[in-house]
Amino acid sequence: MSRGVDVQVLNKILVSIAEEMGIVLQRSAFSSNIKERRDFSCAIFDSAGRLLAQAAHIPVHLGAMPDTVAAIRQKFELSPGDVIITNDPFKGGTHLPDITLISGVFSPKDQRLLFYLVARAHHADVGARVPGSMALCQRLEDEGVLIEPSFFARKGQILEGYLQDIISRMRNPRERAGDLRAQLACLLRGESRLQEVISRYGEDRFSMLAGRLIDYGRRFMENTIREIPDGAYEFQDFLDDDGACSGPLPIHVKIVVEGSRVLVDFEGTSPQVGTSLNATRSVTRSAVYYCFFCLVGEGYPVNSGSLMPIEIKIPGGSLLSPAPPAPVAAGNVETSQRVVDTVLGALSRALPHVIPAASCGTMNNLSIGGKGREGQVFTYYETIGGGMGARPGLDGLSGVQVHMTNTLNTPIEALEQTYPLRIEHYGLRPDSGGKGKFRGGDGIVRRYLFLSPCKFSLLTERRKTAPYGLNGGRDGRKGENIFRNEKTGSREWLPGKCVREAQPGDILEIRTPGGGGWGRFEP
């Protein structure tokens, strides 16, 4: 077998292991956010902290987990059976609900560390001021419990006292413990599969092929960048606001392409804000990497080599690289989406017949908390899809999760069985996609009937700024959030970011944005 084929086979094996880790996590989890929406990512790193493979899970985790592993390697020396836990956004994290567990895989010969395994999952609540841990806040501590990198398990035994201390400060501690144990189970599965591969290849040959795999990823991305004409390309897009009367917030990018290298410079972007719209440097990098992987196409190797040709410059103290302890919950889910819109907008200047129009540009985050049918505390979180931007030669898809989220919707049956909620309507939002030679995809209408007193929070975007069309295509329709009070019969158009109380009989209707059109519309 040729060396090239060996590298390809190894890449597929590692990706399949990461995928299997995700399957174990999904099937073992307690919360609907993990087992139904699949809001998690799994990855494999070598002993030097280089990303070897990541499953096709959540794009926003792509550029963040390497930073987490780097932070762990600086602070800890792992032994067999040790597991580290963290959710620190400024040590490679994304936002506090994303809790990461990291373990090592060791040589059966001399107990030498060979790999790191990483499992990151979005927990439905981490003890924030507002149920669901996804409300607009002015302080990081109000977004939930900050978990500094710490031992979660030693020598194969969970530190139960530490676990209980963490989950006691969160809502629904039983669900939190169940999800964390599911993450641990997926790490154990990854370890057993990697040991099988090591025994098949041998440690020396495996190490040699892993190095070639990383080099293969680098060359793959360099070839992709060479297809972009040399030059400098700029674009600017905006977030609606910071949720506290300040906005719009500009995100500016300049992309400089020279041969097989590219510089992505965010000079001119808004300074950091006093609310949760700040995105950590790791999240910003994830969004940039995602855009370039979109150019590569299917079957590409996702590893540290793939990231090497892309240089990213982010001004410190900006919306995309805030100083700790800035709040960041919305930056991970909303600002990351606008980074994608901005980077793709700049690339459209270089590749006008390749880049699609803007998609809905928001994850339409909804968190709900209260007491369930039997008086038990519940927290629920979901994102809602929207319209995909039209593509050169194709209409955009309707009612899909786009870009930095790769989650599924929560099935109505699962939601209504578990929570005191009823979905009165769930369907596409007609004519919300932008017109053009190729039409943008339509958004979604999802209507919730509250069956018990609840508190809900919204983190949504594209309620003031519309998803842009390209090459003469028209913009997609903006989103809307509507609250109907059963007692008074009043109807209120809610801002994109807010917290409200709901009583039985009240209704929340979320209308998500459509995608932009591509090409001039000719009636």
User: In which element (H, E) is residue 18 found?
Assistant: helix 3-28
Q: pLDDT for 245-302, tens place per residue?
A: 788 999 999 999 999 999 999 999 999 999 999 999 999 999 999 999 999 877 778 8
User: Which pLDDT does position 2 carry in this prediction?
Assistant: 52
- In 3D space, the residue among 477, 479, 515 whose CA is nearest the CA of residue 497 turns out to be 479
Task: Taking residues 510-521, report their average pLDDT.
Answer: 96
For residue 112, being part of any structural domain is answered with yes
What is the extent of the structural domain holding 386? 356-523
User: Which pLDDT does position 270 carry in this prediction?
Assistant: 98
Task: Taking residues 13-26, report their average pLDDT.
Answer: 95
Let me know: does 17 contact 194? Beta carbons within 8 Å.
yes
User: Which pLDDT does position 64 carry in this prediction?
Assistant: 87
Q: What backbone torsions phi and psi does residue 312 show, to the nearest 5 degrees?
A: -125, 125
**C-beta neighbour count of 48 within 10 angstroms:** 13
User: Which pLDDT does position 309 carry in this prediction?
Assistant: 97
For residue 514, being part of any structural domain is answered with yes
Instruction: Determine what percent of the chain is predicted with pLDDT higher than 90.
Output: 86
Let me know: does 358 contact 341? Beta carbons within 8 Å.
yes
Q: pLDDT for 220-256, tens place per residue?
A: 999 999 999 999 999 999 999 999 978 899 999 999 9
Rg (CA), the chain: 22
User: In which element (H, E) is residue 346 found?
Assistant: helix 336-350
pLDDT higher than threshold 80 for residue 129: yes
* Cα 166 to Cα 176: distance, rounded to the nearest angstrom: 9
For residue 380, being part of any structural domain is answered with yes
CA–centroid distance for 291 within its chain: 14
* Cα 322 to Cα 90: distance, rounded to the nearest angstrom: 9
- In 3D space, the residue among 132, 126, 242 whose CA is nearest the CA of residue 180 turns out to be 126
Secondary structure class of 494 (helix, strand, coil) = strand
Domain count, the chain: 2
Q: Using the 8-state DSSP alphabet, how is residue 147 labeled?
A: -
pLDDT higher than threshold 80 for residue 91: yes
* Cα 121 to Cα 58: distance, rounded to the nearest angstrom: 10
Task: Taking residues 137-146, report their average pLDDT.
Answer: 95
Q: pLDDT for 183-231, tens place per residue?
A: 999 999 999 999 999 999 999 999 999 999 999 999 999 999 999 999 9
pLDDT higher than threshold 90 for residue 103: yes
Single residue among 194, 218, 242 that ends a domain in this structure: 218
131 preceded by cis ω (within 30°)?
A: no
**C-beta neighbour count of 417 within 10 angstroms:** 9
* Dihedral angle over CA of 72, 76, 77, 79, nearest 10: -90
Q: For residue 513, give both structure tokens.
A: 């944005």
Amino acid identity of 59? P
User: Which pLDDT does position 413 carry in this prediction?
Assistant: 93
pLDDT higher than threshold 90 for residue 521: no
For residue 444, being part of any structural domain is answered with yes
User: Which pLDDT does position 301 carry in this prediction?
Assistant: 86
For residue 210, being part of any structural domain is answered with yes
- Beta bridge mates, 445: 427, 511
For residue 274, being part of any structural domain is answered with no
User: In which element (H, E) is residue 291 found?
Assistant: helix 281-296
* Cα 74 to Cα 501: distance, rounded to the nearest angstrom: 44
User: In which element (H, E) is residue 45 found?
Assistant: strand 40-46
Pairing state between β 261-265 and 310-313: parallel
Instruction: Determine what percent of the chain is predicted with pLDDT higher than 70.
Output: 99
Single residue among 188, 218, 248 that ends a domain in this structure: 218
* Cα 456 to Cα 453: distance, rounded to the nearest angstrom: 10
User: Which pLDDT does position 407 carry in this prediction?
Assistant: 82
* Cα 506 to Cα 364: distance, rounded to the nearest angstrom: 19
Task: List the end-to-end C-alpha distance of the chain, in Å, as a whole number.
Answer: 57
For residue 456, being part of any structural domain is answered with yes
Three-point CA angle 397, 399, 403, nearest 5° = 70
In sign, the C-alpha dihedral spanning 334, 346, 302, 88 is negative
What is the Cβ-side half-sphere exposure of residue 464, based on CA atoms within 13 angstroms? 16
For residue 319, being part of any structural domain is answered with no
Whether residue 360 is found in the same domain as residue 212 = no
User: Which pLDDT does position 33 carry in this prediction?
Assistant: 86
Whether residue 361 is found in the same domain as residue 213 = no
Single residue among 186, 218, 250 that ends a domain in this structure: 218
User: Which pLDDT does position 425 carry in this prediction?
Assistant: 97
Q: What backbone torsions phi and psi does residue 245 show, to the nearest 5 degrees?
A: 75, 15
Q: pLDDT for 52-74, tens place per residue?
A: 998 876 777 777 899 999 999 99
Quick one: pLDDT band at residue 146, thresholds 50, 70, 90? very high
66 preceded by cis ω (within 30°)?
A: no
User: Which pLDDT does position 1 carry in this prediction?
Assistant: 43
